[in-house]
């Protein structure tokens, strides 16, 4: 199964998935932060593994990523990716602690790591449940896995299954931005469907002409 011959309708369907998912995620994040959160129209791209890393600032850009492996009818990976600074702002906003630094490895930070995991859980959870409602498919997300490291080191985890069968990944990239007077926070939500899951997703939406 290859990605290269996706039809425009199929692209639109994937974009709509990103739209609905990120819309829900933005609402959840807005309630958490008690701030206005905007979302940017999602993009759907078929990219090489190298190009995928460039979507978030290059392979060795330091990022915070919360990874979910999603099991069920159509297995996929969801990543919520933030820059280090953005993750710090997020935790600072949630905990009202303006001195929090991610790179400072003391024990008090453990709690703040779990704050990040929980935010990721809520954001990605609302994304995935919207996806489930839209497609009428059953998705079971894993617990959140937090990684703070180079983008490529973390994101290749989502590529291991895909790379068995393809040299490309399909990325549904949604951005959510919160803005208040002091800080801007941007998060990328990456949805990486496994190749065999695409067919399931398209069938569930009544799109038949795949291959």
Q: Which residues of this protein are in contact with other proteins, per CB under 8 A?
A: 48-50, 53, 58-60, 62, 67, 69, 103, 142, 145, 147-154, 156-157, 159-161, 163-167
How far is 210 from 174, CA to CA, in rounded Å? 24
Minimum gap (Å) between residue 50 Cβ and other proteins: 4
CA–CA separation, 19 and 52 (whole Å): 20
Cβ distance to other proteins smaller for residue 38 or 142: 142
Residue among 129, 147, 145, 180 at smallest CA distance from 56: 147
For the CB of residue 30, give the shortest distance to other proteins in the complex, in Å: 28
Give the helix/strand (H/E) hosting 193. strand 184-193
Backbone angles phi, psi at 56, to 5 degrees: -125, 40
To other proteins, the closest distance from the beta carbon of 52 in angstroms equals: 9
Q: How far is the CB of 19 from other proteins (least distance, A)?
A: 28
Q: Which is nearer to other proteins, 12 or 196 (CB)?
A: 196
Report the alpha-carbon distance of residue 31 to residue 123 in Å, rounded.
10
Measure the CA–CA gap between 90 and 96, rounded to whole angstroms. Answer: 10
**CA 26, CA 34: separation in Å to the nearest integer?**
11
Output 160 or 208, the one with its CB closest to other proteins. Answer: 160
Closer to other proteins by Cβ: residue 100 or 134:
100
31/163 with CB nearer other proteins: 163
120 three-class SS: helix
Closest distance to other proteins from the beta carbon of 26 (Å): 26
């Amino acid at each position: 199964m290859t990605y290269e011959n996706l039809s425009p309708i199929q692209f639109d369907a994937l974009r709509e998935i990103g739209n609905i998912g990120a819309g829900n995620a933005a609402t959840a994040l807005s309630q958490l932060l008690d701030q206005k959160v905007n979302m940017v129209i999602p993009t759907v791209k078929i990219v090489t593994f190298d190009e995928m890393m460039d979507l978030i600032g290059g392979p060795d850009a330091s990022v915070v990523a919360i990874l979910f492996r999603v099991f069920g009818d159509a297995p996929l990976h969801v990543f919520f990716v933030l820059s280090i600074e953005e993750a710090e702002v997020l935790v600072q906003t949630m905990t009202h602690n303006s001195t929090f630094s991610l790179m400072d490895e003391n024990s008090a930070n453990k709690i703040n790591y779990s704050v990040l995991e929980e935010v990721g859980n809520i954001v990605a959870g609302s994304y995935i449940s919207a996806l489930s409602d839209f497609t009428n498919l059953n998705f079971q997300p894993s617990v959140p896995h937090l990684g703070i490291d180079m983008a490529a080191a973390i994101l290749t985890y989502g590529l291991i299954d895909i790379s068995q069968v393809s040299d490309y990944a399909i990325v549904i990239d949604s951005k959510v931005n919160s803005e208040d007077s002091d800080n801007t926070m941007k998060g990328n939500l990456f949805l990486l469907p496994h190749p065999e899951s695409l067919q399931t997703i398209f069938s569930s939406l009544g799109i038949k002409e795949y291959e």
